[in-house]
Structure 1
Amino acid sequence: MSVTAADIKKLRDMTGAGMMDCKKALNESAGDFDKAIEVLRLKGQKVSAKRAENEANEGAVIALVSEDKTRGVIVKLSSETDFVSKNQGFVDGVNAIAEAALKTFPASKEELMEAATATGTVASALNDLVTKFTEKMELSYERLEAAVVAPYIHMGNKAGVIVGLSAAGDAAYEAGRDVAMQVAAMKPVAVDKDGVDQSIIDKEIEIGIELARKEGKPENLLDKIAKGKLNKFFKDNTLLNQAFVKDSKQNIAGYLNSVEKGLTVTDFKHVTLG
């Protein structure tokens, strides 16, 4: 059958794919729109494979919490260029995936790919975005559950944070928002020193010993000096021990306790582009 300009435009409006790609897909599928969409999706898969070696350091990060504020998710979809990451259609697509993640709250990215969206599954939505924008895209996913979960999205969807707190309530939620902004600004590696990976601790001690040795400190004191530097590392790089950016006279632990006695952070997730 003959493919008309109206058919091509209709398929383009449905998929966002290029005019020539739509024309080829319609010709290949003998004018069947469902089959043409599948052709375009297959093309999207081929695009993704072809560009597998490309870097995807742009994109969008979306953080959402449930209506009762007890669950939160972060979805990051990386792209190759900021031209794509700033496109509203792309951002809307990432939002749709994040909403599916929040609704179904899957335990893993693999389960998220099977989650339902308004038009199919996350896997098909992702493939549609690849087809539309013809760039390599990579999906990341984090989730968190707590008495209260508070979100923060950095300007331009460049980073997303969700913070879980130990108690519910409006005051705790607002404090959580402050702490989420703290995480985005100060990039802690863990909630407190007990959450720091042993490999990081070992590396910091090793660095501390070498620095002390270069400063000419006695060999028998190197380990003690390095452990002192490690305590400084914990103060600067663990969330509860960091100075509060809104009031440097107190740390995050003290700030939360001032909001509600015993209030603390149970966990956080921080996802950034790049």
Structure 2
Amino acid sequence: MEIKAADVAKLRKMTGAGMMDCKKALTEANGDFDRAQDIIREKGKLVASKRADREATEGVVAARLTDGNKKGYMLCLACETDFVAKNEEFIKTVNEMLDIAVANDVADLDALKALQVGSQTVEEMVTEKSGQTGEKIELAYYAKIEAPQCASYVHMNNKLGTLVGFNAEIPAETAHDVAMQAAAMAPISISKEDCPAEVLEKEREIGREQARLEGKPEAMLDKIAEGKVNKFLKESTLLNQALVKDNKLTVAQFIHNANPEATVVAYKRFSLND
């Protein structure tokens, strides 16, 4: 049967698939739009399966604050090439998925993937996107925070983002500066208290071994190693880092100057380049 251009355009609008893919699907389905949509979805699964071993190292990070900046959401939809990442339809899909996460107040990545939206789960929507682009597409990251005040920052290349939550209100500019600090300096945690124990122990081991190789007395190794750990915490935990804008202040002091009761209580960071 003859497939009209208007029908191809209609299916493209419904699915987001390419014009030729839509024409082929309609031809195979004998003009049945429901069957054509199923064919496009099946193609997405096939593409996703074939490209499962590929690396999705490009993509888009997006963040959103809601409820008077008391909730923050961030996700990354990853793809294989910068060409796809910069495509308007791909960016639109990222924001649509973030809209879904916000509207349903989704708690974590697994819950977002399993969330039912109409006849599909979000994970199936991602698979369908693979069929549309011909690339491996994956929901690489998702996080949500809640705090009395939240801030977000997404770097201009859309490949790096942060969420930071505070236990008390501070000026929006101060909160934004802290979110930018977290993006630039990649702290491993908020403070010593939430730094993974295995990370600290690894730093101790490195410190001991370095001191041993330098010929330091065995009795001093633990003390030297602890000094290395303290240096690591100063450089690698958000509150203890020197402020990028004014290295005479730590981030904790910067926040304290804005509100003596305030500190960071939630922190998430994701980068496609890490």
Q: TM-score range by the shorter chain?
A: over 0.9
Q: 1:110-130 deviations in whole A, cap 9, x for unaligned?
A: 321354669975345423422
Contact residue 127 and residue 137 of structure 2 kept, 8 A: no
Q: 1:22 to 1:117 in 2, by over 3 A?
A: same
Q: Which amino acid in structure 1 is aligned with residue 159 of structure 2?
A: K
Contact residue 60 and residue 77 of structure 2 kept, 8 A: yes
Aligned to 2:210: 211
Aligned to 1:6: 6
Let me know the Cα RMSD of the aligned residues. 1.8
Aligned to 1:142: 143
Q: 1:208-264 deviations in whole A, cap 9, x for unaligned?
A: 011111211111111110111110000000000000111111101100000011210
Q: 1:111-160 deviations in whole A, cap 9, x for unaligned?
A: 21354669975345423422221111111211100001111001121111
Aligned residues: 272
Q: What is the CA–CA distance in structure 1 between the aligned matches of 2:37 and 2:90, rounded to whole Å?
A: 18
Please say which of residues 116-125 and 128-137 is displaced more in the overlay. Answer: 116-125
- State the 1:179 CA deviation: 0.6
Contact residue 148 and residue 172 of structure 1 kept, 8 A: no
Q: What is the CA–CA distance in structure 1 between the aligned matches of 2:118 and 2:259, rounded to whole Å?
A: 40
SS at structure 2 position matched to 1:247: coil
Q: 1:139-188 deviations in whole A, cap 9, x for unaligned?
A: 121110000111100112111111000113xx343322111100000000
Contact residue 97 and residue 117 of structure 1 kept, 8 A: no
Aligned to 1:159: 160
Q: What is the CA–CA distance in structure 2 between the aligned matches of 1:59 and 1:130, rounded to whole Å?
A: 13
- State the 1:89 CA deviation: 1.1
Contact residue 126 and residue 138 of structure 2 kept, 8 A: no
Q: 1:121 to 1:200 in 2, by over 3 A?
A: same
Contact residue 62 and residue 75 of structure 1 kept, 8 A: yes
Gaps of 5+ in 1: none
Matches within 5 A, 1:104-123: 104-115=104-115, 122-123=122-123
Matches within 5 A, 1:1-274: 1-115=1-115, 122-139=122-139, 140-168=141-169, 171-274=170-273
SS at structure 2 position matched to 1:107: coil
Q: Which amino acid in structure 2 is aligned with residue 232 of structure 1?
A: K
Q: Which amino acid in structure 2 is aligned with residue 221 of structure 1?
A: M
Q: What is the CA–CA distance in structure 2 between the aligned matches of 1:255 and 1:119, rounded to whole Å?
A: 49
SS at structure 1 position matched to 2:268: strand
Q: What is the CA–CA distance in structure 1 between the aligned matches of 2:118 and 2:152, rounded to whole Å?
A: 24
SS at structure 1 position matched to 2:2: coil
Q: Which amino acid in structure 1 is aligned with residue 160 of structure 2?
A: A
Q: Which amino acid in structure 2 is aligned with residue 18 of structure 1?
A: G
Q: What is the CA–CA distance in structure 2 between the aligned matches of 1:251 and 1:264, rounded to whole Å?
A: 12
SS at structure 1 position matched to 2:63: strand
Identity of matched residues, %: 45
Gaps of 5+ in 2: none
